[in-house]
Amino acid sequence: MSVVKHFISESLKKAEINEFLRNEFERAGYGGVDIAKTPLGTHVVIYAMRPGIIIGRGGETIKRLAEVLEKKFMLLNPQISVAEIEIPELNAFVVASRVASALKRGVHFRRAGYWARNQAMEAGALGVEITISGKLRSKRSRYEKFRGGYLPKSGYPAMKYGRRAEIHVKLKPGILGVKVRIMPPDAVFPDKVQIAEPPQAPIEEEVKPSEAKPEEKEETQEIKEAKEAKKSKKAKEAKETGK
């Protein structure tokens, strides 16, 4: 197998696993999966809002899931771990599934889009874009975007930090597509420059003569008395020699 075919087959397998887990654990607030090959097998990390549903009682659900991934998707010795999503509003899969469930309940697409965008921006996202496409109001298919904040679509920051998700919803008029792009608050942009202020040297306070320590005052008085005593001694000796 060539390198190109290998990468294509691996990407297709990951997309199939992602779709299977999303349908299987929709009630758990599924938020994506990371698959990495290790010398001991395949490490699978599942992100969810309610990890207890995926783990199950005594780990029964997660054991059954490992068997399914090994037999159906040909993963070698899958080691599954579940991570809890701390801020669901910044996870693209969670936001897309919320919009999809709102559309299933009959909520107007504009209301669902604006609500999801505002929730993500209030959670601290730098930029959000939600695209809903399909037969929205007429028989002709179209799309509508709900944007907010700063969201670059190309370049290094978009590839490294950008979070994407796409979910399809089947309604009476037809199938609607929901695409979500989120730029998290911890993204670093190369064109963002921070000017650091130069360090200020510590200012030394001048001590006034009146603010001198009492010990120093006592020492100066003793020195003055000693000088006066020497002068008086010299004066007496001069008088005695003159006599």
Domain end, chosen from 161, 183, 205, is at 183
pLDDT in tens, 78-127: 888 898 888 889 999 999 989 999 999 999 999 999 999 999 999 999 99
Residues 81 and 93 in one domain: no
Residues 116 and 75 in one domain: no
CA distance linking residue 134 with residue 136, whole number of Å? 6
- Report the pLDDT value the prediction gives residue 221, as an integer from 0 to 100: 65
- Report the pLDDT value the prediction gives residue 122, as an integer from 0 to 100: 93
- Report the pLDDT value the prediction gives residue 180, as an integer from 0 to 100: 94
Please answer whether residues 91 and 140 qualify as being in contact, where contact means their C-beta atoms are separated by less than 8 angstroms.
Answer: no
CATH code of 178's domain: 3.30.1140.32
Residues 72 and 102 in one domain: no
CATH code of 30's domain: 3.30.300.20
Q: Tell whether 199 is covered by a domain.
A: no
165 - beta bridge partners? 180
Domain residues for 66? 3-85
pLDDT in tens, 5-21: 888 888 888 889 988 88
Residues 95 and 162 in one domain: yes
Residues 56 and 111 in one domain: no
Domain end, chosen from 183, 209, 230, is at 183
Residues 133 and 155 in one domain: yes
Domain count, the chain: 2
Regions in the chain scoring below 50 on pLDDT: 212, 216-217
